[in-house]
Structures are given as structure tokens and as C-alpha cells.
Amino acid sequence: MADLYTVNKSPFEKNSLEQAIRFSADGASILLIEDGVYGAMAGTAAEGLVKGASGRKFFALRSDVKARGISEDRLIDGVELVDYAGFVDLVESTDKVQAWL
Amino acid sequence: MADLYTVNKSPFEKNSLEQAIRFSADGASILLIEDGVYGAMAGTAAEGLVKGASGRKFFALRSDVKARGISEDRLIDGVELVDYAGFVDLVESTDKVQAWL
Amino acid sequence: MKLAVQVNEGPYQHQATDSAYHFTKAALEKGHEVFRVFFYHDGVLNGTRLTTPPQDDRNIVNRWVELAEKYDLDLVLCVAAAQRRGLVDDGEAERNGKDATNIAPKFRISGLGQLIEAAIQSDRLVVFGD
Amino acid sequence: MKLAVQVNEGPYQHQATDSAYHFTKAALEKGHEVFRVFFYHDGVLNGTRLTTPPQDDRNIVNRWVELAEKYDLDLVLCVAAAQRRGLVDDGEAERNGKDATNIAPKFRISGLGQLIEAAIQSDRLVVFGD
Amino acid sequence: MSEIKKFMYLNRRAPYGTIYAWESLEVVLIGAAFDQEVSLMFVDDGVFQLVKGSDTSESDMKNFLPTYRTLGDYGVRHMFVDQASLEARGLTTDDLIQVEWEDWETEEEVDNIVEAVDADKFKELMAESDVVFSF
Amino acid sequence: MSEIKKFMYLNRRAPYGTIYAWESLEVVLIGAAFDQEVSLMFVDDGVFQLVKGSDTSESDMKNFLPTYRTLGDYGVRHMFVDQASLEARGLTTDDLIQVEWEDWETEEEVDNIVEAVDADKFKELMAESDVVFSF
């Protein structure tokens, strides 16, 4: 098993997503929450971060995605939406949590 | 007269310095304070921001530069150190202040 | 699973405390144990009973209190962070000569060792911050 | 020159409030008028009398109080921001049924109009934030 | 003092992740009581504040997108959006809300005061302003 | 519970601009009372925390650089610095403070526990850790 990385910053504001990906091991799960969910949007200058990160599984918190008006058809393919119960499950099913703030 | 731009973010953490420069008019004064003073360091990946911005005058708050252990010989040429009294003078001698946080 | 939760930001300014609350609540509802929620940095401001948020907005402090009442949750404010930011209980008021307290019920003030202990005792530490 | 100063962050967490203090002090020492210092967002937390910072660190709240005493400075906390963050004076305590106050001397709580007015009346508005 | 100043609100933060966007909006609403010329500028993640379709029903936070739509009634004459910030985020003005404006005295109407501008126009607008608010 | 866990403190913030670096250090100091294996990792602007020559005499803030030098006495065994973060900032380990370490039982000594590592080593270190603290 690998770690769960939480990223709560917009990829346009801070490099947290970029660094979480860079320092994550193969098989890592990366969960985008709060303003971090902007990293899950397709068609942006930052979409390459997620699209180019093979071997990582990406998740985004649904309530945060919806609050920001990001419709599901604008999400990058393969990003899975979870609710807080799913967040808890991710914490349980991975080795530990790294918060990339 | 042009405006005074204050920038308090490290150029490695947020794009505030880049944007302040991009949106500043010719003749603008740009004052680096707090973590913004890292933008005044020579030899970094961000030094091009200040070095490439012709027509702008750059200042850095001396107490913040010193607290961060940046010696004067590591400052980009042309960056002028000021104290808080100098900060006040800059505010007085420019049209208005724009805080780029 | 036994969880420790760390909250680094105060209410309203950053969403971190909202995320921490919803995560903690979801974990408890799924039957997990939350060993402790530790409030650090501006996070200690979650523990004031003096807030009066607008009526059409969430009450962040009361949400924590109610969750603690329902699940007997241990809500700990770091004493050093609390002193810097003016979060005071009876003991702190007496020790530091303060004429008022502002801590909310169900919160307690204690040392940083409580964070270390929580990290040791729990299966996972989950950090929410800015 | 007549100045208005806006402070968006609380004490200790961010340096913004330090910068605002040193700037305001320097302006006053140079003989400029500071029409008002307006505390917004977490900035309202600068106005609590309940802090007890470590003895070897600066006392951010007291510094403001002393500056206000020396120069008769108008220190205003935004009421909406104060309510969200638990900053309370006698009037607020009565209106919102709070059993304690935590405001420091020389600070007052008032509306956002005070910020607009300060911006209109002053030659410059200087903002300090995160 | 009866001088009318030009106020510019500089918004560079995404909504919801922090309170700055919302509390900035509260200043604009209160500011309507004062007779000033008010413009808003959205740059960087600030452009996300105007994105249509916000739904906070699952997040227990107040949805303040509808408040932006009313700004024309609160004395806001212009809402400028940085074109480059939009493009970097894969957005166009079609993704943003529209805000109507009407002058009650002259009955002049504008369908939408939200307008994308380039850096040169931005510089001009900032230069013309008397006061810049940042949050 | 007598199990010894591996603690990793992840530091990504510059000092002084915010309190995170200092309050993070306070956790490390208190943590010394617990018998854990403690490492610190400095990435992004976190590497600035270890830059030599900090002088806060003009800024009325507490200079906490000397405290880092004592960490070897507080049970910290490793202080890792991301090499790429250093390079982007024009720094080398020569610009950073040195931190000594000595095992009082075995009398093993290390002159400097501050060490630059690359991304692969970083990944390995994070994978080996049991708990990651972020501030």
C-alpha cells in the first residue's frame, strides 16, 4: 500500500499539487479538497499535472467541486469524486496521510 | 507619478510579484516586504522577474531582508533597501498603494 | 481505525476547519474512533464561546461542541498557541491574571504533548491547515 | 499626509500585523496623520486583551494599545468580522447574550462603513494582509 | 468632503477556500451607501468567484454567488476580469455570471457589466483609480 | 504502547512571514520527551528556515535560528533538505546552518545531520515514516 496525499491549494496559487505528485510513490492516492479541486479541472493550464501523473489515483471531494461550480463533465478523465465518508475510507485503506498544504 | 506596489509573498510560493510587475505601469515602485523580500535575491530561479522588469524601481524592507539572512551582496543589483520610514516616504511620494498579497 | 485530527486554522477565515469537522463527523458516523482533535496555530480559535456568526451561516464552534457531546470527543487546544491568541479557560485566567475566559464547553487547553501522544496512539494522523 | 491602514490578519500567525504596526508607528513618528487603523477579517483578533505571549516575544496587542495611547489613534474592529471570530465588547455582549468580553482598551467595534469612510477621508489607504 | 473617489476592489482569491472573497463582497455592499465610483477587478484565482453553477448544498457553506448578481444595484458600475487569468483556467466569459446595471435617474441600462480586459486595459484602469482595496 | 514510531515533520514555509515554522519547531522540541524516531524534511520555501545569518534585531521578532542548532539534543536524528528546492533558490548546503548530533549512550557523534537529498531519496524517506506532521 502507498500513502494518501491531501492537497487543498489551487494549482494556480501554490505548487502543492505539483510537489505532492513529484514526491509521491507509485500507487499513491491523491485527494483534492477545498481550493485543491481546481487541479481536477480539464482544459486548464494546470491539467497536465494530473494528466501526466501516471501510476497515481486521483480523487476530488464532491462537495468542494460542486461549491466551486465545476460540473462533472469538466473534470479530468479518471478523477473520482468522493464524499467525506469516501475520504475516511481512503484514509483507512492507505498507509498514512500526508497533508500538502 | 505612478503607484507603489507592495508584495509580501515569496515568488516561489505565489505569483504576486510576477503579477504586480505585469500589471504595473512604467515608472512604478515595487516594495518587497515580509516573505516578498526573497524576490530580491540574486541567483535564484525567480531573479528574472526583477531583473527583467525595466522601468520599475524595486525596494526591499531592510529589517525583513536581514531577518531572513539575506546578505546585501546577495541582493539583485539596483534593489534599494529601505526602513519603515522609507516605506512611509514611498507611500507619500507615489500616487497610491496597491497591495499584491 | 483510531484517528487523530489536527486543525491549524481558525473558523471562517480558512475552510480547513470545515474540512476537519466534516471529516471527523464522517469518521465517527462510520464507527471509527477519534482519539483526539488537536487544535494548533490559529486553530485554537475554534474553541471560543464568544462567536456570533450570521444567522444564515454555519456556527463552526457550536458544531464542534455538539459533535463532542454526541461522541464524547476530546477537543484539545494547544496552550502555547492559545496564550498567543487569547484563548482562555479558568486555569489560564488565574495563572495569567486575566479577568475573563472565552473557552467554549467541551474544549480543554493542554500541552503540545497531547498532539504527540495522539499521533503515537492513533493509526492515522490527519492534518487540516492553510 | 493623512493615512488609512487596513489589517487583514490576526496576531502571530502572519507577519502582516507586524508590518502594519511598524508602518503605522513610522508614519506617526514622521508627523503624518493616521486617520484610522481598520481591522478586518482575522485582523480583529489584534484587539483582544486576553493574549499572554511568551515573555521573550513581542506583545502585539499591547503594542497597538500603547501606540493608540501615545497618538490618540482610532483602532476599529469590523463588527461583522468580530462577531464571526468571537471579539466582543460590552455592547456586543449585551446584544448577543455573551457572558464575557475580550476587547482590549483603545479598540472599538464598528461597521464596515468606517473602512469606506477612512478610504474617502485619507490621502492613502495602505493594506496589510496574507 | 464631497469629492467622488474611484474605488477599485482587487480580488485575487478563489471563493470558499478562504473567506476573503465573501468578506470583500461585504465591503462592496456596505460601500454602496457612500457615493463613490466603484469597480471590481478579478485576477488570478479571483476569476473563479464569478463562475456559474456554484452549489453549496452539500458543503454547509453559504452560497454567495447570487450576491454578485445584485452588485449592479449596489452602485457597482464595472466588473473587470483579467483575460489571461481566464484563459489559464480554461474559462471564457460564457462561464461567468452576468450582472445587470441600470441608472435609476437616466434609465440607462447595461445588460452585463462583467467584461474581460487585457493587461494594458488593466493598467489603465488601475492608474485611473484613487483607492485600491485588497483582501 | 511501547512501539517506536517514525515521525516526519514536513516543513514547506519560509520563516517569519508566518508562524508555522516556529510553532512547528515547538512541536519538535516538546516531542523530544517522547521516545520516537524523529526526522525533519525541508522542501520549497521551508529550506529558507535553515539559512545562516538571520538577524532580527531590527524587526522586533524572536530569532529562532539558534533553536534549530540545538535539535540534535532534542532527539532529532535527521534533517533532510530537498536538493531541487535549494537549487531553485540559489542555495547550497554551505548556506545552511550545521546541526550536531551525539548519542549519549553509544557516544556516536555526527558533525552535521543536515543533508540534501534528491526526490527519489525523499520518496523513500516518506514511505518509511509512520506519521507525517504538516504545518
Q: How far is D71 from chain F (nearest CA, A)?
A: 20
Number of helices (H), then strands (E), in chain D: 5, 5
C-alpha cell at A59: 480523487
How high does pLDDT run on average in chain B? 97
Question: In this model, does residue E5 exceed pLDDT 90?
Answer: yes
Question: For residue range F67-77, what is the model confidence (pLDDT) as tens digits?
Answer: 999 999 999 99
Q: Which residues of chain A carry a pLDDT beneath 50?
A: none
Number of independent structural domains in chain B: 1
HSE at residue F64, side-chain half, CA atoms within 13 A, is 21
Whether the model pTM is above 0.95: yes
Spatial distance between the Cα atoms of A101 and A33, rounded to a whole number of angstroms: 10
Instruction: Report the CATH number at residue D30.
Output: 3.40.1260.10
Instruction: Tell me which H or E stretch contains E3.
Output: none
15-44 of A, contacting B, C-beta below 8 A: 15
Residue F105's pLDDT band (cuts 50, 70, 90): confident
Question: For residue range B33-69, what is the model confidence (pLDDT) as tens digits?
Answer: 999 999 999 999 999 999 999 999 999 999 999 999 9
Which domain covers residue A68, as residue numbers? Answer: 4-96
Residue B1's pLDDT band (cuts 50, 70, 90): low
Question: In this model, does residue F2 exceed pLDDT 60?
Answer: no
The closest alpha carbon to C22, from A86, A9, E130, belongs to A86
Distance of CA C53 to the CA centre of its chain: 17
CB C16 within 8 A of CB C7: yes
By CA distance, what is C40's nearest residue in D?
D13
Question: For residue range A48-77, what is the model confidence (pLDDT) as tens digits?
Answer: 999 999 999 999 999 999 999 999 999 999
Question: For residue range D50-61, what is the model confidence (pLDDT) as tens digits?
Answer: 999 999 999 999
Does a structural domain hold residue B101? no
Instruction: Report the CATH number at residue A12.
Output: 3.40.1260.10
Number of independent structural domains in chain D: 1
Question: For residue range D3-47, what is the model confidence (pLDDT) as tens digits?
Answer: 999 999 999 999 999 999 999 999 999 999 999 999 999 999 999
**Cα dist. A101→B67, F11, F44 in Å?**
24, 10, 12
Spatial distance between the Cα atoms of D17 and E134, rounded to a whole number of angstroms: 15
Three-class SS of residue D70? helix
**What pLDDT does residue F103 have?**
85
Q: Quick one: average pLDDT of E63-68? A: 96
Query: Exposed, middle or buried: residue E95 (CB in 10 Å: 0-12, 13-18, 19+)?
Result: middle
Spatial distance between the Cα atoms of F135 and B27, rounded to a whole number of angstroms: 39
Residues of F in contact with C129 (CB under 8 A): 134-135
CB E97 within 8 A of CB E62: no
Taking domain F6-134, whether its CATH number is 3.40.1260.10 is answered by: yes
Instruction: Tell me which H or E stretch contains A4.
Output: strand A4-7
**What pLDDT does residue E3 have?**
78
Question: In this model, does residue C73 exceed pLDDT 90?
Answer: yes
ipTM at complex level: 0.97
Residues of E in contact with A12 (CB under 8 A): 44-45, 88-89
Spatial distance between the Cα atoms of A90 and C126, rounded to a whole number of angstroms: 12
**Active site includes C86?**
no
Question: In this model, does residue F38 exceed pLDDT 80?
Answer: yes
Which domain covers residue C122, as residue numbers? Answer: 2-128
Cα end-to-end distance, chain D, whole Å: 26
The closest alpha carbon to E36, from E74, E69, E71, E68, belongs to E74
**What pLDDT does residue E79 have?**
98
By CA distance, what is B1's nearest residue in E?
E127
Three-class SS of residue A14? coil
Cα end-to-end distance, chain B, whole Å: 23
Question: For residue range E94-105, what is the model confidence (pLDDT) as tens digits?
Answer: 999 999 998 888
CA dihedral angle for residue C82, residue C84, residue C87, residue C90, rounded to 10 degrees: 80
Inform me whether the C-beta atom of residue A71 falls under 8 Å from chain C C-beta atoms: no
